[in-house]
């Protein structure tokens, strides 16, 4: 089952120097941290902050191209976790047809924000124990992650500050 989700936070994991986007179901207390790339984090942060770039960034370009080709991003889904890698799909409606496109969650989330499309997450993912690539030996503890994100200093956010 897919749950409608929201972005619950965007931070920099200082232990791995990797950005983390934290998704949460619209209803409930669960969280799903996904370690993402710096460029995708920047695009997500800009969209969350309402800051527009002077020239189109990759996600602006994708959204513009989809629109110019007669399509509209209907939704994105974060679908599964395999071998420490999250998978997602972008659903584009065009001419009465829905086109499914395989994508990384970070790109999907950035595009969903740009297109003002809903984000869905498989409820199974909120039950799994994801880990960052850098912390394969450490068990995932959602409460520890919440506490670590809560205790970050504003300067830890760097350019991702919202």
Percent of the chain with pLDDT over 90: 64
pLDDT digits (tens, 9 = 90+) for 128-137: 654 444 444 3
Average pLDDT, the chain: 84
- Here the tokens at position 5 are 């989700």
pLDDT digits (tens, 9 = 90+) for 67-80: 999 999 999 999 99
Q: In angstroms, rounded to a whole number, what is the distance separating the alpha carbons of residues 149 and 151?
A: 5
More confident residue, 148 or 66: 66
Q: How confident is the model at residue 127 (pLDDT cuts 50, 70, 90)?
A: confident
Would you tell me how many other CB atoms lie within 10 Å of the CB of residue 123? 13
Percent of the chain with pLDDT over 70: 78
pLDDT, average across residues 19-43: 93
């Amino acid at each position: 089952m897919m749950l409608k989700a929201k972005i619950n936070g965007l931070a920099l994991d200082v232990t791995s120097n990797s950005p983390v986007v934290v998704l949460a179901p619209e209803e409930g207390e669960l969280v799903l941290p996904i370690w993402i790339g710096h460029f995708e984090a920047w695009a997500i942060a800009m969209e969350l902050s309402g800051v527009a770039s002077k020239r189109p960034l990759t996600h602006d370009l994708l959204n513009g191209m989809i629109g110019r080709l007669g399509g509209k991003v209907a939704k994105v889904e974060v679908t599964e976790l395999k071998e420490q890698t999250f998978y997602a799909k972008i659903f584009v409606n065009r001419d009465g047809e829905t086109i499914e496109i395989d994508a990384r969650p970070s790109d999907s989330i950035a595009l969903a924000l740009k297109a003002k499309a809903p984000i869905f997450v498989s409820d199974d993912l909120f039950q799994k124990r994801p880990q960052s690539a850098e912390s394969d030996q450490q068990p995932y503890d959602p409460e520890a992650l919440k506490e670590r994100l809560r205790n970050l200093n504003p300067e830890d956010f760097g350019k991702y500050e919202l």
